[in-house]
Amino acid sequence: MFRFNKYLYPTVECIVKIHAELGGEPVPVSSILECMRGGGYSGIRNIYYGLEAAVQDGYVTVEYSKDGRGKRRLYVPTLLGAVDAGIYRAVVEALYSGDSPSPDSFRAFLCSIKHPIFWIAVSRLAGSIASGDRGLVTMYSILVKALIGSKVVGMPRGRLALVAGNILNEVYSITTCLLGFGNTCFEGGVMTNGVGVLRRAIGSLALMFTSYYSWQCPHQA
């Protein structure tokens, strides 16, 4: 069951940011609390509500450290967390003037907005393949993997942490563009029939996205 409160996504965003700054190392609670306070969120209990919801919703995983001071809980963000936190930041800024939407409203929006985000990501992946920009190919390919629920294997943890941070910002940018009803959201992409390897894979990607989306949002499948 989806668990939501106004501390959820700011907590996830803090963990994504700190995880990248630490080079992929798990994030201690003390760093999360400091980041949240820096963002204007107060109350340790409230911040823990956001952290507990993040774990339950699959946005963050828990690891344990034994460093001579006992067994401590440490936190690692998931790619799903980076994607949804980026969407949330854009929605709150563009539609709610910084206030938090209701759980049902945001859940419905979260499910509906991922369709255009997926196709924009695929288009931009095609564009980056065509241009030969390896950095963008990596980011957009991992973004597409995140949107279809596919795991990333073989990438060093530190590099993946940096990519996750870039993905959060990219999803924020795409969502902001979509909410502005602009016609430039597909800039940087190309039509998929212009890239043979992606054209052959597009049907499989679409099926995987539809399957994962149906699992996440059964009421809209």
Query: CATH number of the domain that 44 lies in?
Result: 1.10.10.10
Residue 1 lies in a domain: no
Q: Domain of 60?
A: 8-77
In this structure, are 52 and 147 located in the same domain? no
4 residue type, one letter: F
Greatest mean pLDDT range, 103-107, 138-142, 192-196: 138-142
| R_g of the chain computed on alpha carbons | 18
Residue 219's pLDDT band (cuts 50, 70, 90): very low
In this structure, are 33 and 109 located in the same domain? no
Q: What is the pLDDT of residue 192?
A: 43
In this structure, are 98 and 144 located in the same domain? yes
167 residue type, one letter: I
Residue 65's pLDDT band (cuts 50, 70, 90): confident
More reliable by pLDDT, 38 or 67: 38
pLDDT tens column, 111-126:
888 988 999 999 999 8
| Burial classification of residue 12, based on how many CB atoms lie within 10 Å of its CB (0-12 exposed, 13-18 middle, 19 or more buried) | buried
The separation between CA 114 and the C-alpha centre of its own chain, rounded to angstroms, equals 11
Mark which of 48, 77, 106 sits at the end of a domain: 77
Mark which of 38, 62, 77 sits at the end of a domain: 77
Q: What is the pLDDT of residue 194?
A: 42
Residue 2 lies in a domain: no
In this structure, are 118 and 211 located in the same domain? yes
Please list, residue by residue across 132-155, b when 16 or more beta carbons sit within 10 angstroms of its beta carbon and e when fewer do.
eeeebbbbbbbbbbbbbebeeeee
Residue 3 lies in a domain: no
In this structure, are 93 and 67 located in the same domain? no
0.95 exceeded by pTM: no
Work out the percent of the chain whose per-residue pLDDT is above 70. 81
- The mean pLDDT of 136-163, rounded to a whole number, is 95
- The mean pLDDT of 101-110, rounded to a whole number, is 88
Residue 220's pLDDT band (cuts 50, 70, 90): very low
Q: In what order do the strands lie in the sheet with 27-28?
A: 27-28, 71-77, 60-66
Read off the tokens for 33.
Answer: 């609390």
In this structure, are 197 and 110 located in the same domain? yes
DSSP string, 164-218: HHHHHHHHHHHHHHHHTT-S-TTTT---GGG-HHHHHHHHHHHHHHHHHHHHH-G
pLDDT tens column, 187-211:
655 544 444 445 555 556 666 666 6
Residue 35 lies in a domain: yes
Give the torsion sign (CA, 105, 12, 120, 186): positive
In this structure, are 60 and 88 located in the same domain? no
Residue 109 lies in a domain: yes
Read off the tokens for 100.
Answer: 């938090």
The domain total for the chain is 2
DSSP, collapsed to helix, strand or coil, labels residue 27 as strand
